[in-house]
Structure 1
Amino acid sequence: MASPTLDGAPLFLAALLLPLRLLGLSSRLLRGGSDRVRSLGIRSVVLFAFVSIRLSAIFALSDTSPSERGALLSELEDLRLKASQLELVLEVSTRTFNSKILDLEERDKVVKEMEEKIRIMENALYELKGSNSDLLNTEVRIGALEKEVISLSLSLTHTHTIQIRLYIQLLFEQSAKNKDSIWSLELSNDKAKEKMEIVASEVEKASLLIIHVLFLGPSNLHIENIVTEQWIQIRQLEQAFQSTKMMAANVLKRNKQKEQNKILWPTKETVNKVVQFIRGIGRFEASEFNLLDSFFLRASFSKTDTPRAYDHFKAWILFAQNCHYEVLELLHLHSDVPSAQQQGSIHAAALARIVIFPSLLQKAINTSIKT
């Protein structure tokens, strides 16, 4: 009898300690954790329950008869089968539970994405409302600005029409003055052209005379110098004539452009230009310029230098007259030579041209200086 009690003592202790283990495992399951930990905990609980049942059965069988032991063993076998079935059911339930958890997590993600989209759409709607309000404000501002512009334009038209008319009248007066100046320039141009033609004809005559005189005596070097100086003066006269002609053409072009622009109604820019032009007329000072200034050394001179140039011309004329007297003496000396008799008509023409040329040249210079 002592041996069965001693053998049953450890079994009794195991039967007492197993429920405590089961309570600890159940508390862990209740606290929560991952799905894997939960499945392992459930399996351990079932295993410990099965072991406790087996131990209690073995402990009971130690004190029972053989027939009762067989019945208990059959019951234990049934319980084992039921425990295996329960394990299968538990696995299936854990799988379904895990799948449902995954579905819930996916749904949570979808819900979060939808919430984010809704938030973005709400922000966009708020921004659209703000932009619509800004558009309304801008439209109101534009309308107010248009009204202000209309009122300002009306006030400007009432206040500045008189000034614009005065400016137009001044423009017409100035155009009339320009026409008068153009007419005077054309007259001076015609006069200069006539003088140039006269001087050119006289120069041609003098050139023919000088060609014949070159063969008469030792004074031909002086005559050549005079001829070269006269040709230089003629070139300078031609240049001055071309410059005056170009100036007259430019003035005519400007006058034509102004007459074409008279038809157009003056804008703000033209009014400003007119004001600047009128102010510039008050400050304008005509530069000292004379037609004869461009005749000397191809440069311009002031009026204070014209007497010096005139004295220089007088010296040239005196030199030409001296040469003229020398030529007359040479012609008189060679008048008895037979060759001179053969060329009497040529000498007479040359003599007439030499006598007339200095007086004509002096007259042309005096008239050009007076003009």
Structure 2
Amino acid sequence: MASRAASVATLLLAISLLLPLRLLSHALRPRFSHPSAAALLTVAALVSAICAAPDPGALPGVATSADADADALRSEIEALRLKVAQLESLLEALNSKSTILEEDNKLIEAMERDIQLLMDGPESTKDSKTKSYSAGNIKSMEDEVQQLQQEVSKINKNSDTIESLAHDTERRVETLSSEVKKIEDIIAEQWIQIRQFEQAFVLTKMMASKVHERSRPSEMVYKWPGKETILKYAADMNLNDIFLRGASYARSCFSHTYKESSSFLQEINRYYHEVPAITPYLMLLVLF
């Protein structure tokens, strides 16, 4: 149980470290805004559903170590929820920055078109009668064009790097989503085991009460029809005969009790082999 809780904590820590990269990739790639938002809402809904699960410590018969592991898991998931809230605010900021980046890209494209027009038509500009630029101005504009081209090449390189990083992050997030699904399956399996323990405890308790009731000496041992008549003529009967009959009846009572106890032990052994985790409850039953 402790190793399983440690693995769960490691997976949750990996989610908290890698999820910001997912958000950054979708901020720089607005065309995937709808799927990324759906994935983020799915993770948030999953964390909320796990945190909203009832406390297993309130059910009878649950082990103390399971309660401690469940409390640690809930605290880790609560911290993850806070991290998700912070990442949502960061996503909004990145979306606003992506809008600004799109506007800058549009401005750069417009400048490239203007530069291309200037580079294609320098001769026509020189031959024009209404020439408005001197040779010095043209030289400075050419230098500015070269600088702008260098900036554009740098931006393109950065865009390629960011896009590859976004693809890598997307693959990692998909892997983490599968791990989260595995964690959900483990939690569901633990709940099923808890319900099985509870049902086994209730069944064992009912069996113990039935066996206890069956093992009680019946009132017919002390009261039977014709008791007064027999006592009336007891003085005329042989005491040895009475003793032997009483011993025989007591023997039959003990034999009946022994058979009931044997059947009870057989049922306990059967449930022990079917549900190995019921052993602590059986020990408590023997003590009582």
* TM-score when normalising by structure 1: 0.30
The structure whose RCO (Cα within 8 Å, separation 6+) is larger is 2
* TM-score when normalising by structure 2: 0.36
Q: Radius of gyration: which is bigger? A: 1
